Amino acid sequence: MDALTPLTYKTLLSKVTETTGRPMHDPATGDLIGHAPVRSISDVDNAVRRARAAQPGWAARSDDERVQTLLHAADAVEASTEALAELLCREQGKPLNGPNARFEVGACAAWLRATAGTPLPGGTVFEDDEIHAELHYRPVGVVGAIGPWNWPMMITTWQVAPSLRMGNTVVVKPSEYTPLSVLALGEVLNSALPDDVLTVVPGEGDLGAHLTTHPDVDKLMFTGSTGTGKAIARDSASTLKRLTLELGGNDAGIVLPDVDPSKIAEGLFWGAFINTGQTCAALKRLYVHTDVYDQVCAALVEFARQMPMGPGLDEQNVLGPLQNKAQYDIVAGLVDAAIASGAKVLLGGDPANDGGGLFYPTTLVADIDNDNPLVAQEQFGPALPIVRYSDLDEAVAMANGLDVGLGASVWSADPAAARSVAARLEAGTVWINSHGGVHPMIPFGGIKGSGYGLEFGSEGLKSVSVPQVING
Ligand code: NDP
């Protein structure tokens, strides 16, 4: 396949589906998209064996050759943007328009290019009359990548691009909810890559655990739930794999009393509702000072009610369905319990249940206690609880009160005040007057139950490498 010939949706779909396998349905309509292949443990073993065999040759190429290959892969992704975005839209549910499917495919190309352009880490670490010591970053070997269903193409790219740049080969196990999107991305990337450097092995049940214990997998990158992250940490101990664990969060935002509510409403909305709330580093608990509480709530309601939700192939929609029924039930259950506890619904909370797809309406819940499960648990959908506070120390304590720490944000007209609050928050990233934006040159990772290991930029390259000191 010529990497730069744009694939049509039909051609791409035919490359990633089989006549039997796991039936994949569009969460917006319930329509059958096609059948995803279901691979076995021996297919994982084959992929790892081929990745192991291909790795020395890939690592032996010059860094410049690997850079050019990643740039070529970025061009290939860009050339097939429309087909990739349509498949992502149909399988994941996110609309084509807005910060959704086309945006995600664009981010894949952008991350490939930025990763190709990142200066390699390492260099001279000590020098005197007798010693010249250099720190080098060598390939780990074979990287296993297990990704989620919310941003399946983008997160796979986050795992694959730095691994390849550093001379590793990669075996990807996609989420069973979005295998076609990842197979399609793999298909396009592989049009630019040598054989066996990247393999996608879709399946369900025990393939992920097999990769985690496989003696020939040297590093595992996982994005998903904290529970599975803990299982991976435990199961990988026997082979002492290096790990990057990007796990769930329950990000807090603190709004200080000096804000102009109408100016921050749009940023708050997209911080919380990007990808219809199915984003690990989205705003999931909002703490608003009592002086501006009613005004912030009103501004959010006004902005939110104008954001259209519906089937993603309709270009007017910017919010879509929940990706799967299990996630829908989590969101619905938490909102119902909040309503039963006496919290006040400002918007949404009333799914139509007309059978037309997994749509849960944009929901804003006010006058809710901090210990309500809608606040304390990661709901991972389009519902935002808004908690009132009057004492900043109390707000910081509530924000820090959970055993997760992926992202957080502070909203204020005073940058110095915002920074001093930011420094007190227990989170891997604290944004000021925005929430959730990531950049390929800015390190990203969680603390506490949100995992460990940094991605992006030269820190990301280090995390898919092993350090070697040459001292002489
Ligand atoms: P999980 O965290 O359960 O991850 C599922 C993936 O992990 C599958 O590919 C599975 O492979 C693999 N896996 C399961 N057990 C193991 C193991 N012991 N070792 C290695 N791999 C394993 O995600 P879910 O999709 O079930 O989502 C559950 C929750 O996670 C959501 O409700 C949400 O809160 C959170 N989430 C967080 C995301 C984030 O970006 N941080 C993204 C998506 C969800 P196999 O099928 O082979 O077992």
Q: Residue 278 maps to which CATH number? A: 3.40.309.10
- 2 part of a folded domain: no
My answer on whether 321 and 268 are in the same domain is yes
My answer on whether 255 and 225 are in the same domain is no
My answer on whether 312 and 240 are in the same domain is no
H-helix or E-strand spanning residue 429: strand 429-432
My answer on whether 416 and 342 are in the same domain is yes
- 17 part of a folded domain: yes
- Residue nearest atom 16 in ligand 1 by C-alpha distance: 209
**Best of 143, 175, 448 to mutate for ligand 1, by most ligand atoms within 8 A of CB?**
175
Q: Which of 241, 123, 223 is nearest to 175 (CA)?
A: 223
The answer to whether the pTM exceeds 0.85 is: yes
Distance of alpha carbon 260 from the chain centroid: 30
Give the angle subtended at the CA of 329 by the CAs of 245 and 91, to the nearest 5°.
65
- Residue nearest atom 21 in ligand 1 by C-alpha distance: 208
For residue 142, the enclosing domain spans: 9-247+447-471
My answer on whether 209 and 66 are in the same domain is yes
My answer on whether 171 and 304 are in the same domain is no
**Distance between Cα 232 and ligand 1 center (Å):** 10
- 38 part of a folded domain: yes
The string of DSSP letters for 221-280 reads EEES-HHHHHHHHHHTGGGT-EEEEE----EEEEE-TT--HHHHHHHHHHHHHGGGG--T
- 440 part of a folded domain: no
Note the pLDDT of residue 307: 98
- 442 part of a folded domain: no
Note the pLDDT of residue 1: 60
My answer on whether 203 and 289 are in the same domain is no
Note the pLDDT of residue 5: 87
Please tell me the total count of domains within the chain.
Answer: 2
- Residue nearest atom 29 in ligand 1 by C-alpha distance: 225
My answer on whether 456 and 331 are in the same domain is no
Report residues whose beta carbon is within 6 angstroms of any ligand 1 atom: 146, 148-150, 173, 175-176, 203-209, 212, 223-225, 228, 231-232, 235, 246-248, 280, 327, 330, 378, 380
How many other β-carbons are positioned within 10 Å of the β-carbon of residue 350? 12
Cα Rg, the chain, nearest whole Å: 23
User: CA torsion angle for 447, 453, 458, 462 (degrees, to 10)?
Assistant: 150
**Distance between Cα 247 and ligand 1 center (Å):** 9
My answer on whether 276 and 328 are in the same domain is yes
My answer on whether 124 and 167 are in the same domain is yes
List Cβ neighbours of 52 (8 Å cut-off, separation of 6 or more): 141, 142, 169, 216
Note the pLDDT of residue 204: 86
CATH of the domain at 102: 3.40.605.10
**Best of 171, 225, 448, 452 to mutate for ligand 1, by most ligand atoms within 8 A of CB?**
225
- Residue nearest atom 28 in ligand 1 by C-alpha distance: 225
My answer on whether 255 and 354 are in the same domain is yes
In whole angstroms, what is the distance from residue 342 CA to residue 150 CA?
Answer: 31
- Residue nearest atom 32 in ligand 1 by C-alpha distance: 327
My answer on whether 261 and 146 are in the same domain is no
Position in ligand 1 atom list of the atom nearest CA 380: 34
Note the pLDDT of residue 212: 97
**Distance between Cα 58 and ligand 1 center (Å):** 30
In whole angstroms, what is the distance from residue 134 CA to residue 113 CA?
Answer: 27
- 28 part of a folded domain: yes
**Distance between Cα 444 and ligand 1 center (Å):** 19
Q: Which residues are known catalytic residues? A: 246, 280
- 438 part of a folded domain: no
- 441 part of a folded domain: no
Per-residue pLDDT of the chain (472 residues; tens, 9 = 90+): 677 889 999 999 999 999 999 999 999 999 999 999 999 999 999 999 999 999 999 999 999 999 999 999 999 999 999 999 999 999 999 999 999 999 999 999 999 999 999 999 999 999 999 999 999 999 999 999 999 999 999 999 999 999 999 999 999 999 999 999 999 999 999 999 999 999 999 998 899 999 999 999 999 999 999 999 999 999 999 999 999 999 989 999 999 999 999 999 999 999 999 999 999 999 999 999 999 999 999 999 999 999 999 999 999 999 999 999 999 999 999 999 999 999 999 999 999 876 679 999 999 999 999 999 999 999 999 999 999 999 999 999 999 999 999 999 999 999 999 999 999 999 999 999 999 999 999 999 999 999 999 999 999 999 999 999 999 9
